[in-house]
Chain A
Amino acid sequence: MVSLFLLGVASCAQAVKLVVIGDAGHNLKPFEWYAQTFKEKFDVELEVIGVPFGEVYEKEKMELIGQTGAYDIMIVFPKFLAEFAANGWLYPLDEFIAKLDPKMEDVTPGYRDFYCKYGGKVYALPYDGDILNLYYRKDLLENEEEKANFKAKYGYDLKVPETWDEFLNVAEFFTRKKGEKLAGQVLERAFYGTAYYGQKDQIFAWWGNIFSSLGGVYFNEETMEPGINSEAGVKALEIMKTMHQYCPPDVLAYGYEELKDVFLQGDCFMVVQWPCVGKKGADANQSKIVGKIGVAHVPGVKKDGEIYYRPLMPCGRVLAIAAESKDPWKAYQVIQYLSLETSLDDVSTAETGLDPYRYSHFNHPEAYEMFENVEDAKIYLAGVQQNMEKGYPEMVLPGTVEYEETLGVEISRALSGEKTPKQALDDAAKAWTEILNRLGKENQKKMYQELVKGWRAAGLWE
């Protein structure tokens, strides 16, 4: 009796301690909010370690290489998933999924198929659904004077641009200098048609939106010849170069903050940006355009009477479990809870930066507290969902960062006028081939073909 009692006490006293690592800041808050629940339901105590966002990759990787076994639950950016999984650092989750269902069919195809799996196995559960959307000033769009002027100049009605040509027209139309009029008022400062993310770590995604809609592919899956300098690639960069004229002069230095602020401060007509911008746009403290934001799908290309568009899904977050975790099952229970049970609360609150990734997230506009009224929330969610359904993945391969960044440097060079688009992309393709050979062509080819298989199964590639 006594021994049973002692055993009971011992097991109660010894909650399993798991270590969580992720980018420091508000995205780690859910782990703290539900700490009590985790303790009661799963007998787990979490130690949450925040690492600077720009250094999450290095920190996680160092510890994994050194096999320190320091982490159990890792917030991973999907572009590293392949690399971590390929090195055997992540615990495959399929058996756990069979035991405790995270309802993956509720997750939009972009994340479900592209960002959680590697080599046919599931290694992570989604946590934050990043995708690019088109935000625009619907108040300016509905302005009678502007509508009349637009029709007079371009010959069709002013509407939300759905193709890249329309996008360029609208951008050109709304680029005004100081002293010109906008919606009946004289401008005190320049107003810009659009802006983009100029820093080279993610600029490829803005080019990628255009590239993907023109049917571009990263590599030819048989020959592994880079597809970035194909006709689609060059055309995409040329479109971007035209777009560049309608942007603020320092757009090539734009990161997340600048891109968000140029729009929310009312200095630009439309931007392609992450979902969080829509949420922040409803906050009067940060946004001068509350209630004036429309959300639409990113522009595409007209094909067979339909608009073919494919927004990129840069960044994003998924929850993975370290292969060396002391208790993978308990860790899985925690991440399943976050990815399913509490996910609606987590993505609809202003206290985190997490964005929706499940169909069920899109079906509850009333939960999104940051919007003044449900109508605004509905507009926002409808727009994001449109994009989520057609998400185009980053290339999730070992070496992704190097590929993306090298491409970004060349894109940036073309846009600053240092090289012509064709030259820049040819150089980028050369660099990609060099990287490919250095990382082991056969290996990369195998992994890439795995990726393509998955993409095809999900209906992304023809």
Chain B
Amino acid sequence: MGIPTRFLFGGVLMRKKRISVVALLFVLPVIAILLAISIFPLIYSFYLSLCQWDIGTGASRTFIGARNYLRLFTDARLWGALRNTGLELLLGVGSQFLLGLALALLLNRPFRGRNLVVTLFLLPMMISPVVVGCIWKIIYHYQYGPLNFLLERLKLNSVNWLGSNQVSIYSIILADIWEWTPFVMITLLAGLQAIPDELYEAARVDGATRLGTFFWVVLPLLRPVMIIAILIRVMDAFKIFDLVALLTMGGPGQSSETIAFYNYLTGFKYFSMGYASSMAYLQLAIIVIIANVFLKSWKGREIS
């Protein structure tokens, strides 16, 4: 932590205390606001998850303990949705990370017009997700969409992007990659920008190769930023809703249904608030576990 040790013992203690007060003050506003807004929803929804409340029938809330959670485990549709979300995590987030990193590295070297290029790359993120869904709906259309038209021109077969239960989830993942790779790219680029040039210089002086510099200097320094970029994308993969709703409604069958979509259906269309809450808590648990595992295994050594 770099606290100079040349103070007396008492001095160190005093300094530690003062640091703690300052540190606390810095963090207090955030804690206060988050607590204030999130505490009620947290408690209320947890209580709901222990109840059965099908508002539609005019029935009142009845406490049923953990039965909602038990029901989760026998719900085949839920596990189908989780499988789809898992695919998105592996393929979608994975691709976004690799592509984003590649792009960030490419754009790290200055060139004329780089600013413009970076801003242009941001465009997919700037459009409302609803509109992204609308755009891709037309693009993916089997008969009238430009994508199949181009494939046809290239003498390739048209692809049944949205109407095939084999392909539909991948169409959604592709649209998601298009929309969110810019996020990873910009985050990693910002991280790369903050690496002082002296380090590159020092590595070169030490005789490191380009690739070596990348793996042993750049990547470790970039690690905190990479972690957050991936974590955010992982968390948001559980929230993919607009694309599904607009492109396929989760169909055919259930082949492109994500967990967020199914949760939305149970909570908002079927209005089984109790069950929907328990599903939400299951997702929370899964994300917390993934995040924990991820953080622990990537923590590694502190950057000196």
Contacts and interface: CB of A to CB of B under 8 A. Distances in A.
Given A249-B160, A253-B168, A398 B58 contact: yes
Name which of A415, A438, A443 has the most chain B CB atoms within 10 A of its CB.
A438
A267 interface: yes
B141 interface: yes
B247 A416 contact: no
A253 B251 contact: yes
B interface, by DSSP: helix, strand, loop or mixed? Answer: loop
Given A405-B265, A409-B253, A413-B254, A250 B58 contact: no
B274 to A, nearest CB: 10
Nearest to B268: A58
A251 B142 CA distance: 9
Contacts of B164: 249-250, 252, 416
Contacts of B248: 199, 253
A252 B142 CA distance: 11
B100 interface: no
Interface stretch (A82-90, A145-153, A216-224): A82-90
Contacts of B249: 199-201, 255
A409 to B, nearest CB: 6
A200 B54 contact: no
A198 interface: yes
Contacts of B141: 250, 258
A61 B165 contact: no
Contacts of B144: 261, 265
Nearest to A410: B253
Interface string A421-462: 000000000000000001110011000000000000000000
Interface size range of chain A in the complex: 35 or more
Interface string B246-285: 0111111111000000000100111110000000000000
B58 A86 contact: yes
Contact of A439 (B57, B163, B168, B253): B57
Interface string A184-225: 000001000000001111000000000000000000000000
B218 interface: no
A306 B121 CA distance: 64
Interface residues of B, number: 36
B143 interface: yes
A262 interface: yes
Given A253-B162, A415-B252, A248 B245 contact: no
Interface in A224-278: 248-255, 258, 261-262, 265, 267
Contacts, number: 115
A7 to B, nearest CB: 43
Given A250-B164, A261-B144, A438 B54 contact: yes
A262 B143 contact: yes
B56 interface: yes
Interface string B119-148: 000000000000000000000011110000
Contacts of A165: none
A401 B270 CA distance: 6
Nearest to A253: B162
B59 interface: yes
A438 B57 CA distance: 10
A61 B272 CA distance: 13
Contacts of A409: 77, 250-251, 253-254
A373 B40 CA distance: 62
Contacts of B254: 409, 413
Contacts of A65: 55
Given A253-B168, A409-B253, 14 more contacts: A86-B57, A87-B55, A198-B252, A200-B250, A252-B165, A265-B144, A399-B270, A409-B254, A412-B251, A413-B165, A413-B254, A438-B272, A439-B56, A439-B57
5 contacts: A199-B249, A201-B249, A253-B248, A262-B143, A416-B253
Interface of A: 54, 57-58, 61, 65, 83, 86-88, 189, 198-201, 248-255, 258, 261-262, 265, 267, 398-399, 401-402, 405, 409-410, 412-413, 415-416, 418, 438-440, 443-444
